[in-house]
Amino acid sequence: MEIQSSMSINGVIKDAKTGELIEGANIYLQSDRTNSAFSNNQGRFSLLAKPPSSKAIADSVLVITNAGYERFKLRLSTRDLSKLTIKLKKRLAKTDKAQQDGVLVTAALANDQRAYGKLMARYRDSIFFMIQKMVNSRDDAEDLTIEAFGKAFQNLHKYSPEYAFSTWLYRIAINNCIDHIRKKRLETFSLDETLQDSEGNTGSREYEAHDVLDPEETYIKQQRILMVQGVIERLNPKYRKLIELRFLKEYSYDEIAKEMKLPLGTVKAQLFRAKELLSNILTHKKERI
């Protein structure tokens, strides 16, 4: 087989045991990790890749990775690249690290705060870099990393030691990230983001740059802002200031830490708590602030 300038690789990814379609799996050629694709919510993927210039396509190796599953490699050879079916096997919790995680999870369930800290320290960086690759935004990745750990710790009692803790944690992080991406795609109106043309006119993302809000829309927008500010006012002062700096003044985490003279880790943890409290208020949950 002769070398081609590029090739299209398409297929579907499933759980080898259950047949469940796998979303969020990473697919790339072993010779070029910078060019990759992710499987969608139907387990399907499409990768447009260039084979190594010194080798034929037949020598190219396709690599598929996904949190909690064994790394899968497939030599493309003369296979039909238009309809591959990949079956991934789950990785069992047999390593020393997995066993140590199990001990920490048990301690965390017994309300040992140090155990929570150790689990977060173990996986924070890897979770962050995985999410950053998916959303291509450092700030969003910071928020989503905190949210992923928050969701994991809130549901720690649901974790099953049959599989590695990392399997469970990465799946939560990936699902949370996918939900975030879908939400952003569905957004048609934003109070915070506007478009601006060369003449300085602004409009929401839903409209062309030259469109402007009519008086009724302007009033509705103002009322929404007042409502949000009213909710913020119900927060504890330290949380209120964090929310105002982050979402109204759009400070970075580093800027907030400098402004409030707090460690960066404390800022992230308190912001997560502040957002949780806001959510409880907006959904009419009773919580003492």
* Reported pTM: 0.42
Q: What is the predicted pLDDT for the residue at 286?
A: 39
- Paired residues of 86 in beta bridges: 13
CA distance 106 to 3: 54
CA angle, 148 then 150 then 153, to 5°: 110
The domain containing residue 145 runs over which residues? Answer: 96-181
- Identify whether 288 is part of a domain: no
pLDDT class for 162, splitting at 50, 70, 90?
A: confident
- Identify whether 42 is part of a domain: yes
* Averaged pLDDT, 235-253: 77
- Identify whether 160 is part of a domain: yes
Which of 181, 196, 230 finishes a domain? Answer: 181
pLDDT class for 266, splitting at 50, 70, 90?
A: confident
Tally of domains in the chain: 3
CA nearest 142: which of 180, 115, 168, 169? 180
pLDDT tens-digit readout, 119-157 = 988 899 889 988 888 888 888 888 899 999 988 998 898
Domain at 264, CATH number: 1.10.10.10
